[in-house]
Amino acid sequence: MTFSCLGIFCEDIREEVSGTHTIVGVMPDNINLVAPAGQEGASILFPKMGIYVRVNLDAPNKPRGPISARASIPGAPEIPLGEIGPADIDKAFADAREKNNPLVGIIFKGVASPLTLTTSGVGSVFVTVDGEEHLAAIINIQIARS
C-alpha cells in the first residue's frame, strides 16, 4: 500500500465556511520555553496547541480496518484525534474512484486548549492504518527552569 502522512503542530486550526482549513502559527520542530522564575516545578500554560494530520492512501488499495490518529505530549494526557471507520473509508475511496484520483486523503485535526506543559520531552503524533502505527510528526519541547 502506498501511504504517506504529514502532521503539523500549530497555534490554531480554523474551519472555514467553504470547507477548507486555515492553519495558524505553524510551530518549529524545537520549542524552548522558560518556566516562571522562582517557581520550581511550575507548569507552563499553552493557551492552544493545534494538531493537523493529512493521510494519503493509494486509491486502489483500501485498508482493511479503521484508520486512527493520536498525539502524545510530554506530561499531558494522550490526545485522541479520531478514528475513521469502514463506512467513511468506503465513501472516501468511492469518491476518489469517481473522480479518478490516485490518492485518497483523510484529515485528522484537534486543538488542545488549554494545554499544561509540566516537563520537557518529545511530543509525537501517530497514525494507525491496518493495525500498523506510523509516526506523523514530532515536536521537541524544552522547558528551562530559571
- In this structure, the chain runs to a length of 146
Structural domain boundaries in the chain: 3-144
Three-class DSSP category at 66: coil
Class of domain 3-144: mainly beta
Q: What's the confidence (pLDDT) of residue 46?
A: 83
Q: What's the confidence (pLDDT) of residue 40?
A: 63
State the DSSP code for 50: E
Q: What's the confidence (pLDDT) of residue 35?
A: 78
Compute the distance between CA of residue 31 and CA of residue 59 in angstroms, rounded to an integer.
Answer: 37
Quickly state the pLDDT bin for 85 (edges 50, 70, 90).
very high
Q: What's the confidence (pLDDT) of residue 98?
A: 95
pTM: 0.90
pLDDT in tens, 12-53: 999 999 999 999 999 999 999 887 776 666 678 888 999 999
State the DSSP code for 87: H
Strands (E), the chain: 3-15, 21-26, 30-34, 44-46, 49-58, 67-72, 79-84, 103-112, 115-117, 121-129, 132-144
Q: What's the confidence (pLDDT) of residue 39?
A: 62
Percent of the chain with pLDDT over 90: 75
- How confident is the prediction for the chain on average, in pLDDT? 91
